[in-house]
Structure 1
Amino acid sequence: MDLAGRVVELVAGLAGPDAQAEVTVGRAELALTRFANSAIHQNVAESAVEVRLRLHVEGRTAAGSASTATADGLRTLVERVLVAARITPPDPAWPGLAPPAPVAPSAEWDAGIAYAEPADRAALVRAFVDAADGLTTAGYCRTAVRTAAFANSAGHAARGRTAEAAMDGIARAGGVDGTARHSVDRLADLDGAALGRRAAAKARAAADPVELPPGRYPVVLEPAAVADLLQNLAWYGFNGKRYAERQSFAVPGVAQLDPAVTLVDDPLRGAGLPFDLEGTPTRALTLVDAGTTRAVAHDRRSAAATGAESTGHAGVGSSTFGPVPHHLRLAPAGAANPTASTPTVSPYGAAADADTAALVSRMGRGLLVSDFWYTRVLEPKSLVITGLTRNGVWLVEDGRITRAVRDLRFTESYPRALGPGSVLEVGRRTARQPDGLDGVWWDAPSLRLASWNFTGGASG
């Protein structure tokens, strides 16, 4: 906190009392253990301090950062950003600084993550490898701790800290991969053996796949595939800048999705700081309530453009790409959902966890999809996405998983696939999926959808 305040004072001394500055000082302790061919091959750790400064002076705005906390380094940062501000074009859309506001205390972080050693991550990797029972494995286990302090020229100050652990691994059987991943707030909740068993079971169940013709199929999407839906909805649909530019499908107040869909962004649920890069307090934000769009994510700039208030979603690059909700949760089904019938045992039964298997048991003929990848936006406003399946697809007939299927390409509008009448069932449990960036996650149950548009098979 003192360091952020010192930078604000430097700005006042060098740029004058009318300059507006906001400063975030962050310290990151990141560690990663990677494994391939069922053996650890890399263990790295990083400890870094970053000072970010955004400055508005004489109607112009500039930003910069430095990885130093020395007096000379901080002065150089301020001087550099001040020079940049004076030569940039005027910024008439400058939204001003966040006023002083109470900020919630950070959740108590886990000592197991904060003080994790390479041996702790290695033990989780060993458990994953052993549980795969002879299959070739690869993946990573990471721990991340971040602390941050904020101050601005308006007298607002805040501090927070957060911790996250995650594991993502594959098991390979005959050239076919099965995967399992999980993100947690407590290291003790990361179960390497359970993840290894899951990945191995999926790999074995995906052997000898058949090819199916393209077309629309009913689907059950596992949490990893649903996480891709959440990620693209967050980046392109509930992004306040895209909404302001009329490039988002979101229309607050309109029932755009199925009543089974409730989406909440909640950074304080885990791995998020209690304030954003502009110092605005973060909170749980309901984006969709029982199918009705309620909000989009805003930073101060996109909020000013639409006559709204910031929702605490300013981040690195948000002024360019827009504010993105990074802790999105699709609420699982409640007790009102039908009681799951016991799925018929099949040779492929291990391909699905119990919650997913219950959804499969109520599907006539369709596909069970583990994961999506290489997804790309074809049409932003309707959010038409193309991509591929991976890590396991299975044919379902009369509620039974009967055959593994070769990977398929799809082209689908994500809002349409989740639209009114399209979501037949939501799983009762969520599985928090890690993102490629530490501290970002997508919390998703399995979904049973009326149809999904597959446009090509393995041969074209």
Structure 2
Amino acid sequence: MNTAELAARALELAKAGLADGAEVEALASQERAGLTRFANSYVHQHVAEESQAVTLRVHLDGRTATASTSRTDDEGLRVLVDRLAAAARLLPPDPQWPGLTAPEPPADGAPPDPAILEVTPAARTERVKAFVDATSGLLAAGYCSTGWTSGSFVNSAGHSLTSEYTEAAFDGVARAGTSSTPADGVARHSSPRLADIDGAVLGARAAAKARASVSPAYLPPGDYEVVLEPEAVSDILGSLAYYCFNGKAFTERQAFAQPGVAQFDPALSVVDDPTVGGLPFDREGTPKRRLDLVRDGVTTGLTHNRRTAVEVGATSTGHALPGDDTWGPIATNLTIEPVGDGPTNTVDSVAALVAQVERGLLVTDIWYTRVLDPRPLIMTGLTRNGVWLIENGEIAGPVRNLRFTQAYPQALAPGRVLGIGSHAVSQPAHGFGFSAFKAPALRLASWRFTGGAEG
């Protein structure tokens, strides 16, 4: 059965198996995913998976319980209902239960791509081959993935929603240099449409970066003006989503964001845009619509589920996620809006920012980022996949990877954002289930590097 039928059946069995007065919501999902991996410039693995699952949440006798199963026949669903009833009897009371989502119109999402619905391993391999060919003899590794997801929500208050989405993603690395001193370049892209994934363009970009990274020089730690490419900015967006605009963190006084306050540079506008991808509703059945989080430097919003919204007298923004009782509601489609007209591709957009820098660093990517203090959002991490010294608006040469320790909001504060790229790139999933952060390059006045990557 399809997800709409499955969700309806799960709700029917839950209402029959639980005591009168139980409030019940059911979320059914079906996923079809394909992955083609390559290393040493050869495809070495194709993987395909199809799965179906149901999650039930019940509020019964003042207590709330949640459970999931991948056994979606009637027997499996009845076992799930029995587990929920037993769990609800043992859990502590939940006086902050916000109630069920009332019926409301659905939101628009990105339409599914027919090419992904019918995709074969050969179609992914074509893109891998184009990437490898474009590296012109360098070693290449990475993956090309495709996926389709259907989701349906229904609750005992009469609310129901069904939608579907598709995603294609590519993450590739080209390697130059030697085995003892490798030099890597990366290119990534994701889209709801398979046709948007151009392996040749990505391969040429990764190869150019790898070749330009050979024989990096030592650079002493310090504060440097930087141009961060979309791959690095995507990591910043992930941290802002998790720590800064999170409604649960705000209620616990752990979030930097303070609505109504000019906390960021006036050039900066950050939105959560569900049309980038993913289901257009959350696990509580709240439709997801465009949400302004920062507008012209002023913090204008937070992400909420129903529980955090009640605590602050707001309404849910459609950001409930599995496990959000612990982690809170998190934005999964953050975008920094590019400013003004300019080049329509990433390379030219970044070059325009580099040309404005007297002395600084061009940083492709950052990783191993960890939070040191969540409220000011002080993060530490490492650069990777290419760092270059900029002098007088030109690339002077590659430098070794560096460790940084930087408060992200401080780097984006008033007067600190010197330029925003004119072209934003969607990056592959960041780790919160489905996530697609669409990031331009940023030119920032200062970024604190505290040491080398070697230790």
Instruction: Identify if the C-alpha distance between structure 1 residues 52 and 458 changes in structure 2 by more than 3 Å, giving closer, same or farther.
Output: closer
1:415 — aligned with what? 409
CA RMSD of aligned residues (A): 1.2
Give me the whole-angstrom Cα distance separating, in 2, the residues matched to 1:307 and 1:170: 47
Aligned runs of 1:286-305 on 2, under 5 Å?
286-305=292-311
C-alpha contact 2:238 2:430 (8 A) present in aligned 1: no
Matched, 1:196 2:211: no
> Which of 81, 96, 100 is equivalent to 2:99?
96
Q: CA deviation at 1:126?
A: 0.6
Match of 2:266 among 259, 262, 268: 259
Identity %: 54
CA distance in 1, matches of 2:110, 2:215: 47
Cα drift, residue 459 of structure 1: 5.0
Q: Is the 8 A contact 1:234 1:325 kept in 2?
A: yes
- Alpha-carbon distance between aligned partners in 1 of 2:324 and 2:340, rounded to the nearest angstrom: 35
Aligned length, in residue pairs: 445
1:391 and 2:398 correspond: no
Cα distance in 2, alignment partners of residues 302 and 446 from structure 1: 33
Unaligned runs of 5+ in 2: none
Deviation at 1:436, TM superposition (A): 4.5
Tell me the SS of whatever aligns to 1:229. Answer: helix
Q: Displacement, 1:104? A: 2.6
CA contact (8 A) 2:349 2:422 kept: yes
Whether 1:126 aligns to 2:141 is no
Q: Does 1:147 align with 2:150?
A: yes
1:227-246 to 2 correspondences below 5 Å: 227-246=234-253
TM-superposition CA deviations, 1:274-329 (whole Å, max 9, x none): 21100001100010001000011000111111111100001111111100001000
Amino acid at match of 2:449: F
- Cα distance in 2, alignment partners of residues 236 and 98 from structure 1: 26
Amino acid in structure 2 at the alignment position of 1:140: Y
2:167 to 159, 164, 168: 164
Amino acid paired to 2:25: E
Indicate how the Cα distance of structure 1 residues 207 and 52 shifts in structure 2: closer, same or farther if over 3 A, else same: same
Does 2:286 correspond to 1:275? no
- One of 223, 229, 234 as aligned partner of 1:222: 229
Corresponding residue to 2:438 among 435, 438, 443: 443
SS in 2 for 1:441: coil
- TM-score (normalised: structure 2): 0.96
For residue 188 of structure 2, what is the aligned residue in structure 1?
Answer: 181
Matches within 5 A, 1:57-72: 57-72=60-75
- C-alpha contact 1:105 1:160 (8 A) present in aligned 2: no
If the length of structure 1 is used for normalisation, what is the TM-score?
0.95
1:376 aligns to 2:370 (yes or no):
yes
Question: Where do residues 36-75 of structure 1 align in structure 2 (5 Å cutoff)?
Answer: 36-75=39-78
Shift of residue 114, structure 1, vs aligned partner = 1.2
Please state whether the residue corresponding to 2:11 is helix, strand or coil. Answer: helix
In the alignment, which of 249, 274, 291 is matched to residue 256 of structure 2?
249
**Further displaced range: 56-65 or 431-440:** 431-440
Could you tell me which amino acid in structure 2 is paired with residue 213 of structure 1?
Answer: P
- In 2, Cα distance between equivalents of 1:303 and 1:409: 38
Residue of structure 2 in register with 1:424 after alignment: 418
Question: How far apart are the structure 2 equivalents of 1:371 and 1:128?
Answer: 19
Residue in structure 1 matched with residue 452 of structure 2 by the alignment: 457
Preserved contact between residue 164 and residue 439 of structure 1 (Cα < 8 Å): no
Q: How many Å separate the matches in 2 of 1:8 and 1:280?
A: 17
Task: Compute the displacement of 1:424 (Å).
Answer: 0.4
1:69-98 per-residue CA deviation (whole Å, 9 max, x = no partner) reads 211111111111111111111111111110
